[in-house]
Amino acid sequence: MQLDQLKIIVTGAGRGMGAHFATQLANAGAKVAAGDVDVEGLESLPATVAKRKLDVTDETDCDAFVQWAQDELGGVNGLINNAGIIRDGLLAKRSRKTGELSTMSTEAWNSVLAVNLTGAMFMTRAFALNALQTEIASGVVVNISSISRHGSRGQSNYVATKAALAANTVTWSREFAPMRVRVGAVAPGMIETPMTQGMNQKARDTLVAGIPVGRIGTPQDIWCAVRFVLECEYFNGRTIDVDGGASMG
């Protein structure tokens, strides 16, 4: 599908990769509806982008957002599930300094699943229903997974969500085939975003040392892959790793 034919929703569009995707799409002539809980961040997007607060953990809000986008854009034929958070931590650990025992909190587990996975399901479900109601000619969903889906120490919650998104990319591509909707996923490695800029410098340096291309990725690197999924109408049900050649092993 050509970018200027898209009427597309981008979640988590207030900053980072989501803001970059929304901006690139708008610049390419797509009609874009951007949502995020960060309303101030949305204001930095181009004036041509339709903007509205969106809490992807609230199914009623997700349903309302898709209907709003349908009205604002004159239709909806695309969705990028980008909204995501991290709440890293080991499931159980002993402090080297004090010997104190601690675990990943249930809140940390549930909050990441609520945004990264359940939120993506809410949005995709509402998008699919809208596609059936409006009988769109064709459509596309892009899930933002992660190379962490292969397993990453200290990220049990995040890994669970990103692995599930990759698996559901296959599931949804099969379910949505009768309605002419493709589903693909892009799995970034370490990318320069507000989420990664807060990392411990030592941990950051260690991760960069394991990237064969010798640098952290940029939102533009990921946009190149997202654009491919959007435009290549023979791409479906697969996940593309974009990680500079790094391994999460």
Angstrom distances, CA of residue 29 to CA of 8, 18, 227, 240:
11, 17, 13, 25
- Longest Cα–Cα distance in the chain: 62
Q: How many helices and strands (H and E) does the chain possess?
A: 9, 9
Catalytic residue, chosen from 127, 158, 176, 223, is 158
Q: Residues 16, 193: contact at Cβ < 8 Å?
A: yes
Q: What sign for the dihedral angle of Cα 30, 187, 244, 202?
A: positive
Give the whole-angstrom CA distance, residue 112 versus residue 116: 6
Would you call 234 a catalytic residue per the annotation? no
Joined tokens for residue 182: 């493709």
d(CA 24, CA 216): 20
Q: What is the DSSP string of 185-228?
A: EEEE-SB-SHHHHTS-HHHHHHHHHT-TTSS-B-HHHHHHHHHH
Q: Whole-angstrom Cα distance, residue 88 to residue 40?
A: 26
Within a 10 A sphere around the Cβ of 47, how many other Cβ atoms? 7
User: Which active-site residues does the annotation give?
Assistant: 158
